[in-house]
Amino acid sequence: MNTAKTGILMIFLTALLIFVGYGLGLAFRTTGLIYVFFIIAVGVNVVSYWYSDKIVLKLYRAQEVSPAESPDLHKIVDRLVERAQIPKPRVYMIPSDAPNAFATGRDPKHAAVAVTQGIMRLLNRDELEGVLAHELSHVKNRDTMISTVVAIMAGLIMMIASVARWGFIFGGMRGGRDNAGGALGALLLMIVAPIAAMLIQFAISRSREFKADASGGTLCRNPMSLARALEKLDHATRRHRQIATPATSHLFIVNPLTKRSIMTLFSTHPATQDRVQKLTELARKFERV
């Protein structure tokens, strides 16, 4: 997905947050809410740019690990960043048995890569290198900041919409019967807004994953190691209780939401078999070189 299309989708996401304020204003007969939500939208984008990586890492209780604490992990990262010619990101460990990984940060100079304890146990060295190559490709491609901002914006929309829906159900509607139309329209917006936010995440994320697979497979010089890792991770996510939320699921290398969740209908990741197929084709090109 090119920069222009990503920018347009980010504008839509910001506009969606503002329309949530407009909808609430209709229901409660005040125009002030749209200005409040416009300020919130601007503030979220500004804060997300500078602090979104810290917010996401704290959300998952990620702890930075030193080379002394995790020497094998750092050796892999050192080798890959040298090949990719990017600054070395901070390295974090997430205290979870669910195997997964993600990268975050506003640019390559302020990046972080995080892996769970579960992925360290599940994958062998080559497979882990494939996963880290994928994540470092996200850093090199400069889409980590976009993905984190999307996570926070979408999460805020879902949270506000959820609070508003419950408010309508238990708190009633202000303004009497003559305002019933506006209140019902706002309630409809509260239902549609989270779905729209998820679809925007879906659009931004899928092509990023394919691109990171291709550049990650090239970076680790063994596309099939990444393919095997994806198959293992896809299988493991069905057996382990996941730590992710729908708003942040697109950050991870595989969709952390299992098929038991209705949110997989809006999966932010391409099907694993499609990703493996493309990596297999890439491996064949390596063999012919």
Among 127, 129, 135, 209, the one annotated catalytic: 135
CB 13 within 8 A of CB 198: no
The H-assigned helical ranges of the chain are 3-28, 32-59, 71-84, 117-122, 125-140, 144-171, 180-220, 223-236, 272-288
Q: SS3 for 238? A: coil
43: exposed, middle or buried (Cβ count in 10 Å: 0-12, 13-18, 19+): exposed
Give the separation between CA 116 and CA 97, rounded to whole angstroms.
7
CB 93 within 8 A of CB 62: yes
Q: Which residue, 122, 77, 109, 113, is CA-closest to 93?
A: 113
Q: Which residue, 145, 139, 115, is CA-closest to 55?
A: 145
Give the separation between CA 153 and CA 17, rounded to whole angstroms.
8
CB 212 within 8 A of CB 134: yes
Question: How many other CB atoms sit within 10 Å of the CB of residue 83?
Answer: 13
Q: Which residue, 174, 153, 133, 187, is CA-closest to 23?
A: 187
Give the separation between CA 148 and CA 278, rounded to whole angstroms.
26
The DSSP H or E segment spanning 102 is strand 101-105
Is 135 annotated in the active site?
yes
User: Where in the sequence numbering do the catalytic residues fall?
Assistant: 135
